[in-house]
Amino acid sequence: MRHVRETSCPEETERLGEEMAARLRPGDVVALTGEIGAGKTCLTRGLARGVGATTAARSPTFVLMHRHELDGASHVLYHLDLYRLDSADELEDIGGADVLHGDDICVVEWAERADDLLPADVFRVHIECLDGDARRLTVTGPRRLLPDD
Ligand SMILES: Nc1ncnc2c1ncn2[C@@H]1O[C@H](COP(=O)(O)OP(=O)(O)OP(=O)(O)O)[C@@H](O)[C@H]1O
Ligand SMILES: [Mg+2]
């Protein structure tokens, strides 16, 4: 399943993330790709808010993985940013491989750096920069995540 959506500002990307979150289920993994500044963290902020995260998603700087408790849910959200990942071993060492195959929701920036560790039923969101603040999001996965037009 493949769907495409364009946004024209950061707020719109964040709101789209919030809407997509309503369709996420425990155990889902969302793999984000796109160049620096494409809007992966921006979309993650919306996804996090949409699934009820009690703490705001941000760029994890030197931390590879952030854990967010979710309001009224027994599962949590893991936000991984693999930009600084040196090897897949490093991710396995911090428990990332287990998290990616567990019962929580995972959102992974720079997911291509650990492609071998992603589950087969992963959702992929590729963000391309168009002119100015326009972005194109291409979403693939086992179910529809983008809201209907
Ligand atoms: N339509 C848009 N959607 C998302 N971000 C946008 C858009 N237009 C402009 N921006 C700007 O692009 C930047 C996106 O930053 P963000 O940190 O989300 O990118 P990123 O893909 O996570 O980058 P990195 O690879 O460094 O983690 C922000 O400065 C944001 O304001
Ligand atoms: Mg980012």
Domain range for 27 is 15-122
**For residue 60, pLDDT beyond 70:** no
Tally the domains of the chain.
1
**For residue 148, pLDDT beyond 80:** yes
Query: Is-contact 43 16, C-beta < 8 A?
Result: yes
Q: What is the DSSP-derived secondary structure letter of residue 148?
A: P
Q: Is 14 in the pocket of ligand 1 (CB under 6 A)?
A: no
Could you write out the DSSP letters of every residue in 43-60? Answer: HHHHHHHHTTBSS-----
| Averaged confidence pLDDT in the chain | 95
Ligand 1 atom index nearest CA of 13: 3
Q: Is residue 2 part of a domain?
A: no
Q: Is residue 143 part of a domain?
A: no
Determine which residue's CA is closest to atom 16 belonging to ligand 1: 39
Is the pTM higher than 0.85? The answer reads yes
Distance between CA atoms of residues 77 and 89, nearest Å: 22
Q: Is residue 111 part of a domain?
A: yes
**For residue 58, pLDDT beyond 90:** no
CATH label of the domain that carries residue 94: 3.40.50.300
Distance between CA atoms of residues 133 and 44, nearest Å: 17
> Which of 111, 104, 6, 24 is CA-nearest to residue 64?
111
Q: Is residue 62 part of a domain?
A: yes
The end-to-end CA distance of the chain, in Å, is 15
Q: Is residue 63 part of a domain?
A: yes
pLDDT value of residue 37: 97
Q: Is residue 110 part of a domain?
A: yes
Q: Is residue 138 part of a domain?
A: no
Centre of ligand 1 to C-alpha 74, Å, is: 30
Residue 31 main-chain phi, psi, to 5 deg? -100, 115
